[in-house]
Structure 1
Amino acid sequence: MSQKTLQDKVILVTGASSGIGEAAAYGFAEAGATVILLARSEEKLNQIYDDFLAKALPEPVIVQFDLESAPEEAYFQLRDHIGKEFGKLDGLLLNAAVLGQRTPISNYNWQTWSKVMNINVNSQFLMARTLLPLLESTQEHASILFTSSSVGRKSKAFWGAYAVSKFAIEGLMQTMAEELENTSKVRVNSYNPGGTRTAMRQEAYPAENPEEVKLPQAIISDYIHLMSNASHDTHGQALTHQS
């Protein structure tokens, strides 16, 4: 992968303050992109911002944003801010998610279910829908990429709202891909990273030895490829990391 595969691209990453989102943000910047870092923790975003500058990476934009509770108007304000600053958006990595409970559906808490759906599904719909005009404004092929999961393709007992939310993301990806296939240069795909060493993975599998699970950095070349011009013909695909 060329070091500057993403030169001059503007890419927004949700869930950019930790885990896969953080690793992807660094990878995109190292490949030349200007990254819009979006997460709830302003403190962590500021730390990453300072580290980008210390590493002489392209100066990022930080956006403190609560995907659980932000009103629709906040998404329009975000779109206007990006439009004023850059006039376009080349990539959108919809990566933020929460696990919720690992429990039978019969025991599932309604408030937790609603929180998972708001963050994992509703916010991603709002982000993709609202930012689509900016993605269509770029002179090149733009990319929308959803981070999916194996339980969003074949569910397992006790995965509850998380699994259902990832199934919904696959449906959103397929619907958008079909709608845009012949009318837009924006491509839409989902990507299942497989087992990856993150805080969410540790929460889901507390007895697992994290040293036996791959680091997020091991999959970032896939994310870079799917944001690069080399993947402009990849559209409507449910992709999976090949270890």
Structure 2
Amino acid sequence: MSRELLADKVVLITGASSGIGAAAAKVFSEEGATVVLTARREDRLAALVDGLRGAGTEASYVVGDVSSAADAARAVDAAVAAYGRLDAAFNNAGVGGDRTPLHLMADDVYDTIMDVNVRGVWNCLRHEIAAMLAHGGGAIVNNSSVAGLVAIPAAAPYVASKHAVVGLTRAAADEYAQQGIRVNALAPGTTRSEITADWFARNPGMEELACSMTPQGRTAAPEEVAAAAAWLLSDRCPFLTGAVVPVDGGFVNH
């Protein structure tokens, strides 16, 4: 029996061109998965897939935007066409936004955040679940945030979107539990990525504040979040569904 968590599984990863998504592509591959990556930046996807293939992993990519139902469907269809089935999916694509008081938040900022973070997960779930039902089940992890569990000041649309991801996760887990599909969510704390590095650069003192509010006193590496997702997608936790797992250094308990 293979000790790899995702041996022989076909896994779709959204938002795979950077950050947690790119880390997941590498971690899942190391755990034996065949990975199908989707994001908007083809240059990043192509480079990542080239590297994975060079390391002996079966990998492919589909350029797309999860806020488009057609793009989400195309990514799922490509996985099934290439590999015959879809065993697992990590719905990781998301956007943040600058910290702005609620009464000053622009409509277009709200719309963009909700379109990607909520509609994007909705679009992916619909097509992933349909593919999994056709092939005997599967596992899905949606990437929420600690902002899906607690309030974060001056980030109302983001907080609302990540709470919605938790709601979609629990609803889907309940609806498909007896049809062989598990659906769970991650709630990462502050995680090092290009986006957070840029945000810290534009908001002096915020990195120190984030670390001070985390009992472990640090931010997470993207690979740490990806490792948690790999476990949730694996067969090692068959009785776990509808859960929201914080990967936050103790932040929500602080």
In 1, the alpha carbon distance for the partners of 2:35 and 2:8 equals 10
1:10 and 1:36 in contact (8 A); partners too? yes
Q: CA deviation at 1:6?
A: 1.0
Aligned residues: 237
1:98 and 1:200 in contact (8 A); partners too? no
Alignment of 1:224 with 2:221, yes or no, is no
1:189 maps to 184
Among the aligned pairs, what percent are the same residue? 30
1:129 maps to 126
Structure 1 portions without partners, runs of 5+: none
2:140 maps to 144
Letter in 1 for 2:62: V
Alignment of 1:48 with 2:48, yes or no, is yes
In 2, the alpha carbon distance for the partners of 1:175 and 1:61 equals 30
1:238 maps to 244
2:62 maps to 63
Q: 2:89 aligns with which of 82, 89, 92?
A: 92
Q: 1:116 aligns with which of 93, 99, 113?
A: 113
1:101 and 1:108 in contact (8 A); partners too? no
2:32 maps to 32
In 1, the alpha carbon distance for the partners of 2:125 and 2:14 equals 11
2:190 and 2:248 in contact (8 A); partners too? no
1:89 and 1:137 in contact (8 A); partners too? no
Q: CA deviation at 1:74?
A: 3.4
In 1, the alpha carbon distance for the partners of 2:15 and 2:110 equals 19
In 2, the alpha carbon distance for the partners of 1:176 and 1:115 equals 23
C-alpha change, 1:215 and 1:76, in structure 2 (3 Å) is closer
1:79 maps to 76
In 2, the alpha carbon distance for the partners of 1:73 and 1:213 equals 35
Structure 2 portions without partners, runs of 5+: 212-216, 250-254
In 2, the alpha carbon distance for the partners of 1:149 and 1:105 equals 19
C-alpha change, 1:75 and 1:150, in structure 2 (3 Å) is closer
1:152 and 1:165 in contact (8 A); partners too? yes
Worse-superposed segment, 94-103 or 130-139: 130-139
1:4 and 1:32 in contact (8 A); partners too? yes
Q: CA deviation at 1:34?
A: 0.4
TM-score, reference length from structure 1: 0.90
SS in structure 2 of the partner of residue 99 of structure 1 = coil
Worse-superposed segment, 73-82 or 84-93: 73-82
RMSD (Å) for aligned C-alpha atoms: 2.0
Q: CA deviation at 1:153?
A: 1.1
